[in-house]
Amino acid sequence: MTVALGAQSAPSEFFADRLPRWFPVPKIPADNPITEEKVELGRHLFYEPMLSGNSTISCATCHKQSLAFTDGLAQSIGSTGGQHPRSSMSLANVVYNASYGWSDRTWSLESQMMVPMHNEHPVEMGLKGNEDEVIGRFRADADYVARFRAAFPGDPNPITLPNIVKAIASFERTIVSADSAFDRYLYKDDDSGMSPAAKRGAALFFSDRLKCSECHGSVNLSGPTTFAGTMPSDPEAFFHDTGVSAQPAKFRAPTLRNIAVTAPYMHDGSIATLKDVVAHYAAGGRSQRPKSDRVRGFAISPAEIDDLVAFLHTLTDEKFLSNPAFSNPLSNPDLRREENREKRTNSELPAWLTGSH
């Protein structure tokens, strides 16, 4: 049977072998149907430093697979050394997110991606003003020319920024984490990865006393999710003030999948450990100012905190962290990054590059 390049299939068919039965079929936008070729192009682009204005960073710089697609920093650093006010969010299961960004009111991966690409305060990928140069790099690369043609068949001019965004979004939609120890326990009756402490912790997580699952629920143990179904009618319901900031500020509840590898925590990376996160919520947040009525504080013993943290560790999907399907397909990406370091416009190398942070 001959399959046409870029052949489209319904989301349920495309994800048939990629999702366990207990995960819903994701919503795929009609203007960006998902294909194998588009996903593979997107994976290359995700790890490609050429995509940044000065060719020094890629999406993967702030979204490292081994850290569940975060970067291990309290606040991310852009291509010119500028520090972002926010911590890098995990891309695990982003296809189910009802909104994107910590506090952005962006509702699709495609629209969210424009933020790091064009942001100037700080500069992140640094495409603004450099779009033509960046596109030119890909047009001069025979491998990318072929990949774009395969991903966008019938498009006479496939190498464009909108298509770059569509391809990366398509790849991101396949980044699914569904095989944690807790998943295996819950859906396969396999408790080999669940210690007695973790089981007690699970009970606490879902308890009426702590109500963690009130904000971290659904397939992603996160705030509102969306799939082939409906979205909550009130988008503001997605965002809650959890009392982290000195001033009122509302943020989306991120996924707790792989949370053990995505420290530090919160929108500003201000909380270092999971124990400290639990303490934050037990105390009802950092300040006495009004905040979300879901942040009420609760009583919890030191032993219970350990149990809860043990449970959170069972949300790690070890296979996901090294799955070749999501890994870097480029050869010597670190070498290319080193070669381009001299092109950085900021003469002072940030501490994260020199390793002194």
Partner 1 sequence: MSRRLTGAVIALIFAGSSGSALLAIRNTPQAADAVKKSPEAAVIEALNTGLKRLEKANQSEYEAALKDFGAAVNAAKQSYMYLFVHDRSASHVLMKAMKSWVAAHRAQPRGAGASTVDVFDAWLRERDTLAMSVGNLGHNSPDWK
Question: Is 124 annotated as catalytic?
Answer: yes
**Among the candidate windows 85-93, 203-211, 232-240, 329-337, which touches partner 1 by CB under 8 A?**
203-211
C-beta of residue 251 within 8 angstroms of C-beta of residue 201: no
Closest CA to 286 of 249, 326, 255: 249
Give the span between the Cα atoms of 90 and 335, in whole angstroms: 25
**Among the candidate windows 40-48, 135-143, 222-230, 305-313, which touches partner 1 by CB under 8 A?**
222-230
Give the span between the Cα atoms of 115 and 125, in whole angstroms: 9
Quickly list DSSP for 142-201. HHHHHHHHHHSTT-SS--SHHHHHHHHHHHHHT------HHHHHHHH---TT--HHHHHH
Q: Is 221 in the site for partner 1 (CB under 8 A)?
A: yes
Among 6, 104, 141, 206, binds partner 1 (CB under 8 A): 206
Q: Is 186 in the site for partner 1 (CB under 8 A)?
A: yes
Question: Annotated catalytic residue: which of 37, 48, 124, 172?
Answer: 124
Rounded to a whole number of angstroms, the minimum distance from the CB of residue 31 to partner 1 is 20
CB closer to partner 1 out of 228 and 279:
228
Give the span between the Cα atoms of 78 and 121, in whole angstroms: 10
At 36, list the tokens. 């194998």
Task: Compute the 3-state secondary structure of the chain and give helix, strand, coil in percent, each to the nearest 5.
Answer: 40, 5, 55
**Among the candidate windows 116-124, 135-143, 171-179, 185-193, which touches partner 1 by CB under 8 A?**
185-193
Among 5, 7, 8, 12, binds partner 1 (CB under 8 A): 12
Q: Is 227 in the site for partner 1 (CB under 8 A)?
A: yes
Active site residues: 124
Binding site for partner 1 (CB under 8 A): 12, 21-22, 24-25, 185-189, 202-203, 206-207, 213-214, 217-219, 221, 225, 227-229
